[in-house]
């Protein structure tokens, strides 16, 4: 049996006069003030936190810049070591074909290197055709080296050569190489501090290293170490 709702019960939508009056009670006013205070405190903390984050980011950045420099240097050293092996492989292919070493002028320290002259021998311009004067060093016009992007020295004293990956204000420098000219299967270590130590190889190549100086061996990058 259903009981009709008494007409005296207040509806949910219409607040009682007592509840309406309590909106402006001192207790609720205090609670509103607290909310405003908390809101303003949160804004202040956000600013402080932002500053802290900026400082931490600054410190991290300051730590990362030298680390990034170190990583970049290691990458270039690895590149130089790989390129020194490319020089060795190119020379070996040449020798296999012609049964001798190419006749290239000295580049530095009494050694020949990957100068423009060397690159022209190892990477002849085969588009010039048969009427062009052929280099007697590579009269068969065989390509022993493919010059990839960034290998060629763009400017400076050694322009056109196959440069190591280390940039310098006077331009990059070529690799040097030493050959087993007496055919005993060994090359004398070109580092004078190694006391004439023999390296078991037909040809070795090295880069002047990040300092661009062939004589400072501590940073030179070699094909045999
Ligand atoms: Ca030898
Ligand atoms: Ca050096």
CB atoms within 10 A of CB 197: 10
What is the pTM for the complete model shown?
Answer: 0.73
What is the CA(198)–ligand 1 centre distance, in A? 8
What is the CA(83)–ligand 2 centre distance, in A? 16
Question: What does the domain layout of the chain look like in residue ranges?
Answer: 46-222
Res 214: pLDDT = 96
What is the CA(121)–ligand 1 centre distance, in A? 24
Give the tens place of pLDDT for each residue, 28-54.
Answer: 676 766 666 565 556 667 889 999 999
What gap in Å lies between CA 163 and CA 110, rounded to an integer?
Answer: 18
Residue 207's alpha-carbon distances to 1, 126, 157, 171, 204, in angstroms, are 104, 28, 16, 14, 11
Which residues lie closer than 8 Å to 124 by C-beta, 6 or more apart?
A: 134, 135, 138, 141, 142, 143
Instruction: Kindly identify the ligand whose nearest atom is closest to the C-alpha of 185.
Output: 1
What gap in Å lies between CA 43 and CA 107, rounded to an integer?
Answer: 68
Give the tens place of pLDDT for each residue, 97-135.
Answer: 999 999 999 999 999 999 999 999 999 986 665 555 678
Paired residues of 187 in beta bridges: 199
Cα Rg of the chain (Å, integer): 38
């Amino acid at each position: 049996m259903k009981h009709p709702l008494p007409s005296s019960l207040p509806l949910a939508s219409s607040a009682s006069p007592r509840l309406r009056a309590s909106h402006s009670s001192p207790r609720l006013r205090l609670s509103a003030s607290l909310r405003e205070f908390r809101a303003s405190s949160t804004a202040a903390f956000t600013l402080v936190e932002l500053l802290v984050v900026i400082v931490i980011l600054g410190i991290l950045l300051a730590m990362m810049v030298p680390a990034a420099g170190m990583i970049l240097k290691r990458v270039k050293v690895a590149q130089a070591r790989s390129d020194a092996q490319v020089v060795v492989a190119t020379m070996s292919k040449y020798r296999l074909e012609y049964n001798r070493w190419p006749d290239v002028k000295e580049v530095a320290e009494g050694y020949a290197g990957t100068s423009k002259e060397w690159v022209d021998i190892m990477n002849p311009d085969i588009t010039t055709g048969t009427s062009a004067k052929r280099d007697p060093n590579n009269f068969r016009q065989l390509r022993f080296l493919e010059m990839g992007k960034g290998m060629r020295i763009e400017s400076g004293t050694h322009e056109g050569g196959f440069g190591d990956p280390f940039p310098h204000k006077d331009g990059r420098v070529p690799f040097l190489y030493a050959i087993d000219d007496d055919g005993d299967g060994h090359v004398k270590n070109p580092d004078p501090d190694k006391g004439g130590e023999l390296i078991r190889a037909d040809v070795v190549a090295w880069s002047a290293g990040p300092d661009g100086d062939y004589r400072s061996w501590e940073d030179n990058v070699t094909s045999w170490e």
